[in-house]
Structure 1
């Protein structure tokens, strides 16, 4: 089996969607987008992984995946060896070829991909830039005011969907793209000094004087019976101590 070309298939699906075909309604409403794809984007994953061993290896030992055993079909694509020259260093020993991932070559190849994407965006009058808040874009025939940096940044974002985060960051530096202002750390906020005048108290705290606090503390130690007696009107009543005064003491002695 020999594969002639690799395609990427994207499926557009909505929860409630149907197609009108002639006089009938077709449920499902799936929409498939088929686009030719460079196989190097898939091979990069295996090449970078194998590069951790730091040696040249044959492709059949590099492109190995237990979860996707059919990945070996990539090795049957035509002109594969020619494509690998963009991202690898090669050696031939005897009649067998060995490959090793090259980061320098890969960045140069990705830069070409970015430039090709920028050219396609301009040719199709696709507007990009800060005002485009998502991957959705709008085409028109009016003159675009987007800067060259906007096109490069947008193209870099599209290419980054097919490579690792680390390689995407390296490509951004290679393209000399300035850091996005949204990702820059914000300076620490400073406390605002409202006034140099002394702060005035909103309540009169002098009402809580020491005497009142002592009285409150004393009352807090009284029992419920003592508190009830304290509320009784004592007008005209003698103190119990008066019955044990000096006069009463003499009367007791005479008896």
Structure 2
């Protein structure tokens, strides 16, 4: 599933592709993608005639901003957007088409059909699911060590599980949690409430640093991720632990190990990340 760096990369490329384009038609070939409103025809009629004015990101969600409404889009495992000419061929995995008056189309392609779209009046999207329960943006001033400390103190869960659930800090998935915990030298199975203030500050710094570095490199191309112009990210070339089980730690050369935490495969260094 794309994490913050990948979604941020899609957001930035989409801005240059769709902002200022007026929608003349909408085709939905897989209605289950449209979660709000319940009536797909109502979704189409609300969007047709509006112009895209911006693209934003909230956690792992895209916000496609129209004049009066906003489409909250989650890519899930395989979702992709692409701008195409209206007469360009497409395959059966292309499910939603936004046709523009200039003869181009924004197409949503999703092999697994897990992606979702919710339509809200502008300004109301943060008051309902799926955005209402989201935590702090890691690049915001509000994401402080005190926020992490308060959140950790309230739970008996493992630190990796807390970071994955999106209610304390958003945008982190399996890749970047493993990477940030490694760089902070924190074992993924540590109970979050046992972390010291110094460990929490280090972890906050490494979350921000890791995500920033990944954004600058266009995200990680794991499996089939590409951005909205078909370009791959390169951060996978910089991974310290994710996907490297059995290989030597880049810090101490110990063999990296893999365990399951919260149902997710988790790679760590048993020497650098001791479960104290």
Structure with greater strand percent: 2
- Higher RCO (CA-CA < 8 Å; seq separation 6+): 2
TM superposition score normalised by structure 1: 0.24
Question: Looking at CA atoms only, which structure, 1 or 2, has the larger radius of gyration?
Answer: 1
TM superposition score normalised by structure 2: 0.22
Structure with greater helix percent: 1
